[in-house]
Structure formats: C-alpha cells, structure tokens
Amino acid sequence: MMPRANTGSGLRGTLRLDEPLARHTSWRVGGPADRYYEPADLDDLVHFLRTVPAHEPIHWIGLGSNLLVRDGGVRGTVLCVTGRLKSLTAVAENRVRAEAGVPCAQLARFCARHDLSGAEFLAGIPGTVGGALAMNAGAFGGETWGIVAAVETIDRHGQIRTRLPADYRVSYRSVVGPDQEWFVAGHFQLGTGVAADGKALIKSLLAKRGATQPTQQPNAGSVFRNPAGDHAARLIEATGLKGTCEGDACVSELHANFIINRGKATAAQIERLIAIVQERVLAAQNVKLEPEVRIIGVES
C-alpha cells in the first residue's frame, strides 16, 4: 500500500504519496509521482489547486494514453481526473458538455444515443476529453477541435474561465493557448443524426480499430505524428522496423506506429526504441519523425 496523506483543509479527493504511475498509464510503465491527487469533483479540484505551492510542478493525466512516464517518476503533483471530472450532459440544442475525465469513447456513444452526429470518430481515441482537447486528438479523419464550440479551463489558482476556439492556435495534434491553464470541460457542437446510424458507425469504426491496431496489448496509441503528406506507419514499415524490440518494448507487427509492452518493458526501453525508430527512418527515408506521445518525469 502506498501512503495516503491527510488532505485536510476540507478537501474531499484522494491524495497519495509516491504513487506508482505504471498503474495509471496505458503502457503500464512509469515511476512514482511525489504527490498524486484524484479530485472528488470540479469544486474540489478548485480547492486543491489553491493549496499547491506556486513553485510546485503540476502534471495532468487521464487514461494515461499518449503518455510516457520515465522510470524515475515525476516530481511535484500529478492530477488524475479520469472517473472524477465525469459530468456529461446535453446543454443546448445539438450541444454537449463533457468534463475532462470523460473517456472519448463514452462521449461518442452519448452523442449517438441522443441523435447527434459528428462525434463518432471519438470512439477511436483511447483517451479522455481533457487529453483530446490538449492535443487536438484525432481518429478516422476527424479531429477534436473540429467540433469544439467552447472550452472551460482552470489555472493553478483555481480560477475557472470559459474560452472560445479563437483563443487558441489549433493545428494537427497541437493546441497552443493561454499559459498555465488546463482544460476541465469541452462544449461540443454536433449535427442532427439518427441514433441507430451513429451506433452502427461507432461499431464499424471500433471493429476497424481492433483489426488494425494492437488494442489487446499495452500501448499508448500512435507514437509519432504523421509527416505532411505521408504516414509514420508507412515510413516505419518501409524501413523494416516492424517487430524491432528493445527489451520488452517492441514495434507492433500489426501497426508500425504503435510500440507495445510485451510484459516487462521499462520506460527507458520504450524511449530508446523511439529514438532507434527516429534514427533509422531518418537514415533510410530522410524524414525526421516527431513523437506524438508526451514524455514526462526523470530517468532512474
């Protein structure tokens, strides 16, 4: 059992010290967080942020996909909102509000059930709304910010704001906005659809994902961004790197832009394999692949 700290000060969430982040990442690797907090809800998160010292780093995680935590762990505080910031409601005609901890697939199904179209692609994103907003996550030709009407953010002082897409520079897998603000909810504008059609499309997209991606093995989703006019998977496969391993970290045989953990991989092995793929693709294809996954923490 990891030690639990007394949250005190009326906080209602769960605070743990030295919490192993391998438990909270889809690659199943990562060292401990100095402090790990799961807020009870948005109000509790506001209260907690006001207790964090100004100098202390803050990191946010959802389902732990698209994230590599190094083996030495993370200094400062890690906030996990999955299953905590989970409100999901229809707030106006064809508009849905989803908090940051809502899984993207859940949002897709919710929209379909309410006869709304345009969010089906979210079923193929293995993360939460917060992460999808932060990186403009996409799947099956759709991108998160293509359906964003507004967002709610919070800063480290607990101040909540509502912002519009015009407040951000959004591009492929990149979102640049006000510094030291994090997404706590998104408002999504959808089209009018038919529930049965939406559910059928989601089912089809998930079947395609299961057939083409290593969904049954620990992975973090796509490792590299697609270069303009090309696909990272094609370049990696053309370089002959499918099945290349560094310890138990291996380039997937099913989809070359995925790195899987065969069971006992370390974060260091995954990071070395990322570098190997970059070096060999650059040498063979003269293309520098840029990682899509976020790497945090310190080496052991």
Q: Could you tell me which CATH number the domain at 88-212 has? A: 3.30.465.10
Q: How far is CA 261 from CA 27, 233, 269, 272, in A?
A: 6, 18, 10, 13
| Of 236, 246, 229, residue with least CA distance to 278 | 236
Mean pLDDT of 276-285: 98
Confidence of residue 3 (pLDDT cuts 50, 70, 90): low
Task: Identify whether 294 is a catalytic site residue.
Answer: no
Q: Which one of 16, 70, 222, 271 is the catalytic residue?
A: 222
249-251 β-sheet, strand order = 245-246, 249-251, 259-261
Q: 154-198 pLDDT, tens per residue?
A: 999 999 999 999 999 999 999 999 999 999 999 999 999 999 999
Query: Would the pLDDT of 1 be above 50?
Result: no
The token pair at 108 is: 């897709």
The token pair at 208 is: 């395609």
CB 252 within 8 A of CB 219: yes
Provide the pLDDT for residue 10: 86
Best CATH choice for the domain 232-296 from the list 3.30.499.10, 3.40.50.300, 3.90.78.10, 3.10.580.10: 3.90.78.10
**Percent of the chain scored above 70 by pLDDT?**
97
Q: Could you tell me which CATH number the domain at 14-80 has? A: 3.30.43.10
The token pair at 152 is: 């709610």
Which residue ranges make up each domain of the chain?
Answer: 14-80, 88-212, 232-296
Provide the pLDDT for residue 238: 98
Sorted by sequence, the CB contacts under 8 Å of residue 207 that are 6+ apart come out as none
| Of 248, 250, 204, 246, residue with least CA distance to 223 | 250
DSSP 145: G
Q: Which one of 19, 181, 271, 292 is the catalytic residue?
A: 292
Task: Identify whether 26 is a catalytic site residue.
Answer: no
Task: Identify whether 87 is a catalytic site residue.
Answer: no
Provide the pLDDT for residue 8: 53
Mean pLDDT of 10-21: 96
Q: Which one of 95, 173, 234, 294 is the catalytic residue?
A: 173
The model's pTM? 0.92
Query: Would the pLDDT of 200 be above 60?
Result: yes
